[in-house]
Structure 1
Amino acid sequence: MAGTEAMALQSEHTFPRHSHDHFGIGVISQGAQRSWSLLGQIEAGPEDVIIVNPGEVHDGMPLKGARSWQMVYLEPELLWQELRMERSDADAVLKPLVRDNSLSHRLFQLFFALHQTKVEPGFLEETLLQCLMHLCHHHLLTLAFPPNMTPTIQRAKQYLDDAPSRQTSLSELATLCGLSRFQLLRSFAREVGMTPHAYLMQLRVRNARQWLAKGNSVADAAVMSGFADQSHLTRAFSRQMGITPARYQKAILL
């Protein structure tokens, strides 16, 4: 399906805090992990369904060795279409951790089919949409106090969003917001969930993924995304994604 991307990974890697533009749904197949979510710390084990809402800050660390999981990321509009069918509450999001045997079984069916050399596209699409329908019907979460961002930090975030490849210092960002560097660092981390530099790095990795998916070389993707060089991109990409840019590109362009 256009706008979707699937990933299977087995890793002991600890992922730093980051977020995605896309909605993500997956299932743990082996091992366990602890991660940050909109509800605070959660722990997921075998057959637990893990969910990432668009823009939700999260991380991930293994518990007692490597864990294996499979995820599918999709354009938020697919999710929002189903949410509109269920309810009109703009603050509704999906729970970051779900224990639902029916849903995990359906996800395992989806990922098993994705590994096959021959599979009916209609089956994949139908199974994925059934998962979304089930989620939106049974596992919606309405936040009592939706997180708000102060205008000052919103301005700083928007400045980074507008030009991630631009070289921006903490002092420059603080001056833009009329804050000291310490005030900006403390407030940004509290309201966004990560520091300005960490947020900027995830934006650049996100852009690099798009360049790589279009067939650009790793070196060119690094330059176009604002990294100092290819090795800088590789370090940041591997830290956030758990795989190297070259390996990601090889898989995505198959």
Structure 2
Amino acid sequence: MPSMRSAPVPSFSLWRPPLLPDVQVVRVEEDSRLWSGHSIQYAITVTYAGAFDFWYRKREWTLGPGRQLKLKEPGEVHRDLRVHAPVTAQSVAFTPRLVDEAARQLGLPASPHLRATLSRGTGRCEAAALALHAALARRSSDRLECESLLTETLDALLTEYAERPPATRCPSHRPAVLRVRDFLYARFTENVGLEALASSVDLNRFHLLRMFRAEFGLPPHDFVTHLRVARARTLLAQGMAAGDVAAEVGLYDQSQLNRHFKRIVGVTPGQYARAVCQ
């Protein structure tokens, strides 16, 4: 007789990332429960599997897996209506204080209103939010990565979906951005944060992030990752073990080195070492 497969067990987890004190993450796996509540924070939800209908802003909506995001703001009621298939989803919530500070730095009034319930699925907000979700899901301890992805997500959210979008132009501060680049060249093995970098050159973090990306084509955390991988290639070619290389270049373990190295170089550190050391 064919074996009986057990039904998936739903799970619920909630945590506050230590590096982002104004952020809360909620994740459900294989969940068929109907949730309802009154929002007290801004939130962005991504659905990885399953589909459900919900009520929000006087109408019904449907959300399934993909790049489309569910957006919430404080002071509004949301209510799940039906689950079409067990849902795996993750929600990242931001305190009103955090969003108000982001709005202020972007030149917007406090308590910005979001024009949309579901994102378009094709903009900058999706790319930033999905990267932030992924970093939080793997419990990243890289301060620059976490702070940069949070800043990019809030920037994109308010730029694309606030009722009054911020000004897209900001004055250039190339000398300040070059000083940040030089600092990262000299200290790329350290766990420096975006806020500290911005303060050191007297810019707000949104302005620094925009200027750095415009100047170098990458946000600071990706720039640092490329520096670390470049150094790792040199050390691997000299015969250093991959586990030791990870610590030497400022990464926390070999799995983190493997992930970044394969994404940038195209092969694993082990494959690279075997090829260059033959």
What TM-score comes out, normalization by structure 1 length? 0.49
TM-score after normalising by structure 2: 0.45
Larger Rg: 2
Of Structure 1 and Structure 2, which has the larger fraction of its residues in helix?
1
Structure scoring higher RCO (CA < 8 A, sep ≥ 6) equals 1
